[in-house]
Amino acid sequence: MGFIDGIIPPYYESILITVGIYIIMALGLNLITGVTGQLNLGHAAYMCIGAYTSAMISLKLGLPFFVAILAGGALAAVFGFVIGYPTLRLTGDYLAICTLGFGEILKSVLLNIPAVGGAMGIAGIPPKTTLTITLIIMIIVIISMVRVENSRFGRALVAIREDEIAAECNGVNATKYKLQMFSFGCFIAGIGGALWAHKIMVLQPRDFGFLKSIEILNMVVLGGLGSIPGTILGATVLTSIPEILRFSSEYRMVLYGALLVIMMVFRPHGLMGGVSFNTLAKRSFGWLKPRSKSDDKPEQKEMGG
Amino acid sequence: MLSNLIVQFINGIALGSTYALIALGYTMVYGIILLINFAHGDIFMAGAFVGLLLVTVFHVHIIIAFLGAMLFCMIMGIIIEKIAYKPLRRSTRLAALISAIGVSIFLSNLANLLFGAKPTSFPPTEQILFKIQTYELVAGAQITNLQILTIVTSALLMIGLQYFIKKSRTGKAMRATSQDYDTAALMGINVNRIISYTFAIGSSLAAAGGVLVGIYFGVVKYNMGFMVGLKAFTAAVLGGIGSIPGAMFGGLALGIGEMLAVAVGLSSYRDAIAFGILILVLLFKPTGLFGTQIQKKV
């Protein structure tokens, strides 16, 4: 363990950790919004729950880091279940508003609880997030997302995205699948939040507002809704470019806003929409073997009516 | 205690009437193209800034600034629709919604770049309008002439809108389009023009609300549109989205509810209460108080 920590300069290592954490959180949102088509505007809230839970466990109980991470993820998943149970019956834009509302409610509740520091937040969290831990969790999350995508569960989610009523007519229990999916996505967000808390060491409620959710949404949209390699690309690009170009945060948010509109108008499927790891491998290494007809089949078939 | 309640009730009506003005824009746009126009709150913010600039930089009279802000936002609303929503009219609703969020983020952060993150204050009311006077109501409760002005202006605009929608030819075309988009187009209504009108009217009402809020609270800030926009949306949902009387009623109800929450000492939770109302309405009566049920088909 820890064999790659400290090899590269700390500044770049810190950027890599940030990229890894954002990939984890963006993959959680990709499952909810990209694969299943349920717009979640409160993803930062679940990240916030994970971050606060793990920070409290590390600080007050002093338990090992992986317990704090798992507890953060678990509590985020519980909240995802409790919030999702009533709200996932709502369609599209109403769900979006409800998730946004939950995010704002959570923020204003945290601001008023003195036990978690109120507006001052929590400080002095031990810096336990290393590059190794981030990479290991990131790889586990990527593998599990690919496994979900290729499973019966994943196909049911895609069917729900394409047409919920048609999917239900074909025997997909949409409510159950959406609830499981949402809890899982929130679990991933909570884990990402736990890593985040132990990286930046200071938590304040206003760091987890609407703009944070939009930042994560942007990564998924840029990469391509529903595409795992696309989400990884989107998270990497949007996390590292501001670091390289040294944008001020105001310019970045103006660009993010314009980016959302431009992507939706000109390229609604993102940079790599509908591309999975399989197609990526075929496209990259297809020239190695003789071409057969089956390689040229279109990847995404229309589903539902 | 009773007089305090009445004062907060009047504050609630003044605040709620501005919510209602903004909620009308949400509800009209949603009624026609089934899109939550997230950028609407930021148009409200833009209206407040334009009004402020006209008063402080160009030194025009407040009434002209008020009308100027409405005109500016009218054009802005039409342009936003043409750029960000029109190309997406036949694509998924998720795409249009994300685009609307993009416009909102763009506008509020552009205002942050242009005017800075600190709140900008409106000139004092007695310089631009009149000296604030308070009138005594029953049991020691007071109302200011600024509150009367806010309520009366909002009411006039809303009555004007109601008249326009019910009586004018364009208003009838709007109602037809909101009932059935495709059939309205087949009946010879220029649907694109109607959508532009809808955005123009909604945005100018938001600008009016922006200037009123700017005068009433005395400060304008780049992110003021976010929270007010969400609350106005809550108001629209509470009244039943797509319904114009619903938006007016919802705005007033939300404003009064919020101020009564302040009166009983829950002021630090006022945003959470507004969102709590929203979520409860969506869960138990998603069509709102005046809305109609839409049957979903495959």
Residue carrying the six token digits 């979640």: A40
- pLDDT tens, residue by residue, A16-63: 899 999 999 999 999 998 888 888 888 999 999 999 999 999 888 888
Q: What is the pTM of this model?
A: 0.81
Q: Which residue of A has its CA nearest to B234?
A: A97
For A273, other C-beta atoms within 10 Å of its C-beta total: 19
Question: Is it the case that residue B4 has pLDDT exceeding 80?
Answer: no
Structure tokens at B171: 């208003």
- Chain B contact for A37 (CB, 8 A cutoff): yes
Residue B292 is assigned to a structural domain of this protein: no
Contact between B230 and A100 using a beta-carbon 8 Å cutoff = yes
Residue B153 is assigned to a structural domain of this protein: yes
Residue B293 is assigned to a structural domain of this protein: no
Residue B295 is assigned to a structural domain of this protein: no
Q: Name, in order, each residue with C-beta under 8 angstroms of B258's C-beta and a sequence gap of 6 or more.
A: B12, B15, B231, B270, B273, B274
Cα separation of A243 and A232, whole Å? Answer: 17
Residue B273 is assigned to a structural domain of this protein: yes
Residue B298 is assigned to a structural domain of this protein: no
- pLDDT tens, residue by residue, B167-223: 888 888 888 888 888 888 888 888 888 889 989 998 998 998 888 888 888 888 888
Structure tokens at B150: 């806010």
Smallest CA-to-CA distance from B257 within B277, B240, B228 is with B277
For A156, other C-beta atoms within 10 Å of its C-beta total: 22
- Chain B contact for A166 (CB, 8 A cutoff): yes
Positions of chain A with pLDDT lower than 50, given as ranges:
295-305
Compare CB distances from A265 to B87, B106, B233 and report the shortest one's residue: B87
Q: What secondary structure does DSSP assign to A77-136, as a single string?
A: HHHHHHHHHHHTTS-HHHHHHHHHHHHHHHHHHHHT-GGGTGGG-B--------HHHHHH
Q: Which residue of B has its CA nearest to A39?
A: B94
Would you give the distance in Å from CA A36 to the centre of its chain? 13
Q: How many domains, chain B?
A: 1
> How many residue pairs bridge chain A and chain B with CB atoms within 8 Å of each other?
134
Q: Which residues between 100 and 139 in chain B have a beta carbon less than 8 angstroms from any beta carbon of chain A?
A: 101-110, 112-113, 117
Q: Name, in order, each residue with C-beta under 8 angstroms of B11's C-beta and a sequence gap of 6 or more.
A: B147, B259
Helix (H), strand (E) at residue B136:
strand B134-136
Give the domain extent around B135: 2-284
For residue B294, name the pLDDT band (cuts at 50, 70, 90): low
Residue A302's pLDDT is what?
44
CATH fit for domain A10-296, picks 1.25.40, 1.10.220, 1.10.10, 1.10.3470 = 1.10.3470
Q: Which residues between 12 and 51 in chain B have a beta carbon less than 8 angstroms from any beta carbon of chain A?
A: 35-36
Contact between A97 and B96 using a beta-carbon 8 Å cutoff = no
Residue B191's pLDDT is what?
86
Compare CB distances from A165 to B106, B276, B298 and report the shortest one's residue: B298
- Chain B contact for A118 (CB, 8 A cutoff): no
Residue spans of the domains in chain A: they are: 10-296
Residue B139 is assigned to a structural domain of this protein: yes
Q: Name, in order, each residue with C-beta under 8 angstroms of A74's C-beta and a sequence gap of 6 or more.
A: A187, A190
CB-based burial label for B274 (10 Å; 0-12, 13-18, 19+): buried
The CATH number for B89's domain is 1.10.3470
